[in-house]
Each structure stands twice: as structure tokens, then as C-alpha cells.
Amino acid sequence: MYHSADYVVSELHRLDEQRLLQQLERRRVVAERIAEVAGAADGATDAARLRRGIRALLPRRLRPLTPPRPATS
């Protein structure tokens, strides 16, 4: 077999691997979207929950800040 034929075969394998990875990624995205749509009907995903404001995410009381300690030599 010639070196050029080896190169062609290796390129075909590389392209097949890339195509396989793209198909797997596409299937993963489709499966996630189907799960989101199915879960949204049940109210189980974040998309179905009410949005909370930034104040609801912050703690109720903030502790006082302590000044940084001076570096000791």
C-alpha cells in the first residue's frame, strides 16, 4: 500500500470520528430540549419557576466587614 493511501484512510477515519462526535452532541442537545419541555409541563425545571429578584437571592442580614489585618514582617 502506498503512503498516500494510508493518508487517505487516516483522513477518512478522522472525518468519521468528527462526524460521530457532532451527531452525539446533536442528540444530546435534542434530548436536553425534550427533557426541558417535558419537565416544564410538570413544573420541574427552572424555566417553569417564577423568577426571583436579586434581593431575594441576597442574605437577609449582612455581617459587618472586618478591615484587613496588616501584614506582619
- What pLDDT, in 10s, does the model give residues 15-67? 999 999 999 999 999 988 888 777 666 655 455 555 566 666 666 676 677 77
pLDDT of 22: 93
Q: Is residue 67 part of a domain?
A: no
Residue 53 belongs to what domain range? 3-57
Q: Is residue 68 part of a domain?
A: no
Q: Is residue 66 part of a domain?
A: no
Q: Is residue 71 part of a domain?
A: no
% residues pLDDT > 90 (the chain): 26
Average pLDDT, the chain: 76
Set of cell numbers at residue 63: 455581617
- pTM, rounded to two decimals: 0.47
Quick one: DSSP state of residue 58? S
Q: Is residue 27 part of a domain?
A: yes
Q: Is residue 65 part of a domain?
A: no
CA-wise closest residue to 13 among 55, 31, 60, 5: 5
Our count of domains for the chain comes to 1
Q: Is residue 70 part of a domain?
A: no
